[in-house]
Structure 1
């Protein structure tokens, strides 16, 4: 059985609706849809260790995951499937989900970080696999590569900030086509679409679905910077435009995801392929006075779609809570491969089959820069505790008060004690796991700053 994992950057769960994403809504109606899937972090760096390695971000010292030669207990889904005989390939245009942060582990091919030049990309992958990533030579080449890659993109006349989903589809389908005729070789393909990530600059035909007049790329980027960095200055009219631009990007993703699934069907491989559609985190478009995905744990940021098309399973809707750390165990289970012993999550198929109840706890964390003081615990019954470091704590019953307004805070409720104890235990456990463990990329590394700037997190 083949596996296609499609992750979308910054896609809120509530956009999987006929108004915005009708094709994905139809896909979900014919598949197994988990309606309460929770991201284990509010950003790509915080979420992708969970997706690829079933590992909480706060359990790793640094960003990304450790390199393959570091030893230790971390194993990626791609490594597990590769060991089981799968051909593996990944396609991403987010540096924080790239080989620079060791997410190339287990992939035969990884197209990453906006490389429009095949030769440049081949050189980069050779460097990553053959040089000490902590050494001065590697770091010098990595920084030079980042600048050269940007030059290639400019020279190639790329109109948009990120490589579009249709281009990633083409790359992945070339990989699928190359497997045609290979005896008994199943494949695993991962695509990470960046289109719903700010700046929202969808092609004009998609903007026209939500706006009378399409905005220029320059105007889209201006609004994105304003909403992300100066939200207090955004007018009501501008917030509405930002929401429409975000919806336009989601609509574009909708068409491209359908095109990818249709292409698998046209090639006669869909009936032999499990397709999982999810997101690394959600997005705010004016809620709580923010745009984008700040290091906070509002429902708009942590609730994500999670849809599983399995050729041998009937359509179903599963309301029990799952987490992104369940992604790798679920996909391993789907194809009958043993899960890695040190994965933190568990297979979501157990919920479909009724063998277990909803995952009682979902935890989220962000970074060392705030000493992991920003975190959350979400219980399966909808009770949720947010710790936003110096901004304090908030406790909500999100089923009763989904807007999570300050006046809805229930820190005085009996449920608070259980939430606080569970979150304390989680933080203590994460701290113990970080101590003496192999390291990812240091958050103070100059490369990290460059990537934050590239993705619009720093002005």
Structure 2
């Protein structure tokens, strides 16, 4: 039988980069994620191109930044004519499959998938949501939200689920992924196994709700002056969601439940990988593990995600287990727009010209690449843009007269905004010019099929200003 190259993409939702043992967390138990890391490449400077679900996932699907594929906020559809990873793999005869939460827009969009088992946390009608149908069949109809409304708002949604482990969404998604691998036959395949957790609410089933002692989990990074010299929007959110009432007890409890969710997901990742082993598929399957974005988890005395660009929500776990490569840790600056071109490189296929990410094969094989980028970028809607290097971060807000500049080498927890401090004006201008150059280089590339572009506004802008921006 011919040995085809297969792809398994495993994603979690709202998973911080430091919430895995392989990333140095001494408390959390993630043996299966750790195994992937020990057998593959662990990227220690991986970032999402958007700190919200939909845009980030669409960037994985397209290899383009949100302002280019146009799905730059949740529930906004992809640009007409935009080619996706699914299109490219279907063309090559792959059995393309997705199991779990995709967060496509609209929710029922399949983007050409040949096999799908989707669950969207209430975004799909009950008769189209596979998890809801599963719960109804097993006597838990109406429990698709996994929590009890009587306790939901207690302690910032850190509660025990009324669902047993075998009926929790992480278990369902793991089982469905295993089932697909069993049924795929001799087809070469692409499987995206996308877990719903550890996205809020911080709900875990027994025994994962008590797996971690709140007294022993690490505390986040914040100081008494939060939110300090931040945007007005951040200050409003801080009060509106009651973050000013967060205390150590609640933060520790939330973290314990969050870790419990991740450990359950890890258990199911193990099931999927073992199924590949049982069918002798592990030797020819590229496995990428990552998340769409992170979670504040008490950093800056906030939870969840929001209209800001702290490392807690933009830095993500990213592991690439590519057959034939050895374990290493790589600190190059990478982004989830790099997933599509990495898959194409692994398969020996050309990377389409529209792709804005860069293939990771060189970094995976050698640990370095001379022409690699120095900065990554992230954005939220049209109004917030970030550029981050290893040492500096600059955040631009379109709707507010405020900027953020952090010296990450001296201030890794982003306490001190230097944008308005004497002596940092030159650095702000340097970072803003690089950010503007990136925006011009990447703006509005896809167009409707059948149309030709002679010269865009961006081309004219480059002609007038690009040389100045580079100085």
Match of 2:96 among 88, 102, 106: 88
The answer to whether the 8 A contact 2:98-2:117 is kept is: yes
Indicate the SS of the match to 1:5. Answer: strand
Query: Who is 1:193 aligned against?
Result: 195
Residue 157 to residue 420, structure 1, CA distance change in 2 (3 Å): closer
Query: Who is 1:6 aligned against?
Result: 10
The answer to whether the 8 A contact 2:78-2:105 is kept is: no
Deviation per CA, 1:368-401: give whole Å up to 9, x if none: xxxx12110112x331101244272111122331
In structure 2, C-alpha distance between the alignment counterparts of 1:228 and 1:86, rounded to whole Å: 47
Provide structure 1 residue ranges, at least 5 long, that are not aligned to the other structure. 126-145, 214-224, 439-459
Query: Who is 2:218 aligned against?
Result: none
In structure 1, C-alpha distance between the alignment counterparts of 2:121 and 2:310, rounded to whole Å: 34
Query: Who is 1:113 aligned against?
Result: 119
Which structure has the bigger radius of gyration? 2
Within-5 A mapping of 1:384-399: 384-388=393-397, 389-390=399-400, 392-399=402-409
If the length of structure 1 is used for normalisation, what is the TM-score? 0.76
Residue 179 to residue 382, structure 1, CA distance change in 2 (3 Å): same
Query: Who is 1:172 aligned against?
Result: 177
Indicate the SS of the match to 1:26. Answer: helix
Question: Is 2:104 aligned against 1:97?
Answer: yes
Residue 150 to residue 253, structure 1, CA distance change in 2 (3 Å): closer
- Cα deviation for residue 101 of structure 1 reads 7.2
In structure 1, C-alpha distance between the alignment counterparts of 2:441 and 2:284, rounded to whole Å: 40
- Cα deviation for residue 4 of structure 1 reads 0.3
If the length of structure 2 is used for normalisation, what is the TM-score? 0.74
Deviation per CA, 1:211-258: give whole Å up to 9, x if none: 379xxxxxxxxxxx9999221222232122112221221222222212
Match of 1:20 among 28, 47, 50: 28
The answer to whether the 8 A contact 1:99-1:112 is kept is: no
Query: Who is 1:448 aligned against?
Result: none
Q: Which moved more, 1:422-431 or 1:269-278?
A: 422-431
Residue 396 to residue 27, structure 1, CA distance change in 2 (3 Å): same
In structure 2, C-alpha distance between the alignment counterparts of 1:402 and 1:415, rounded to whole Å: 17
Indicate the SS of the match to 2:350. Answer: coil
The answer to whether the 8 A contact 1:226-1:233 is kept is: no
Query: Who is 1:56 aligned against?
Result: 65
- Cα deviation for residue 149 of structure 1 reads 11
Match of 1:331 among 333, 336, 343: 343
In structure 2, C-alpha distance between the alignment counterparts of 1:115 and 1:286, rounded to whole Å: 24
Residue 303 to residue 21, structure 1, CA distance change in 2 (3 Å): farther
- Cα deviation for residue 163 of structure 1 reads 5.8
Question: Is 2:386 aligned against 1:376?
Answer: yes
The answer to whether the 8 A contact 1:81-1:337 is kept is: no
Match of 2:85 among 72, 77, 81: 77
Query: Who is 1:405 aligned against?
Result: 415
Residue 243 to residue 437, structure 1, CA distance change in 2 (3 Å): farther
In structure 2, C-alpha distance between the alignment counterparts of 1:227 and 1:147, rounded to whole Å: 35
Greater fraction helix: 1
Query: Who is 1:340 aligned against?
Result: 352
Deviation per CA, 1:271-292: give whole Å up to 9, x if none: 2211110000010011123100
Paired residue total: 391
Residue 233 to residue 118, structure 1, CA distance change in 2 (3 Å): closer
In structure 2, C-alpha distance between the alignment counterparts of 1:151 and 1:158, rounded to whole Å: 9
Query: Who is 1:456 aligned against?
Result: none
In structure 1, C-alpha distance between the alignment counterparts of 2:274 and 2:199, rounded to whole Å: 24
In structure 2, C-alpha distance between the alignment counterparts of 1:299 and 1:345, rounded to whole Å: 20
The answer to whether the 8 A contact 1:60-1:437 is kept is: no
Query: Who is 2:332 aligned against?
Result: 320
In structure 2, C-alpha distance between the alignment counterparts of 1:164 and 1:306, rounded to whole Å: 22
In structure 2, C-alpha distance between the alignment counterparts of 1:323 and 1:101, rounded to whole Å: 27
Match of 1:311 among 312, 323, 326: 323
Question: Is 2:256 aligned against 1:244?
Answer: yes
- Cα deviation for residue 113 of structure 1 reads 3.3
The answer to whether the 8 A contact 2:40-2:321 is kept is: yes
Deviation per CA, 1:25-66: give whole Å up to 9, x if none: 232122111111110011112311211101111224455675
Deviation per CA, 1:77-103: give whole Å up to 9, x if none: 121111111101001235x3365274x
Residue 306 to residue 281, structure 1, CA distance change in 2 (3 Å): same
Residue 21 to residue 328, structure 1, CA distance change in 2 (3 Å): farther
Match of 2:281 among 262, 269, 278: 269
In structure 1, C-alpha distance between the alignment counterparts of 2:38 and 2:190, rounded to whole Å: 24
The answer to whether the 8 A contact 1:163-1:194 is kept is: no
Indicate the SS of the match to 1:15. Answer: coil
In structure 1, C-alpha distance between the alignment counterparts of 2:320 and 2:287, rounded to whole Å: 6
Residue 427 to residue 150, structure 1, CA distance change in 2 (3 Å): farther
- Cα deviation for residue 345 of structure 1 reads 0.5
Bigger relative contact order, structure 1 or 2, given CA contacts below 8 A and separation 6+? 1
The answer to whether the 8 A contact 1:120-1:149 is kept is: no
Query: Who is 2:370 aligned against?
Result: 356
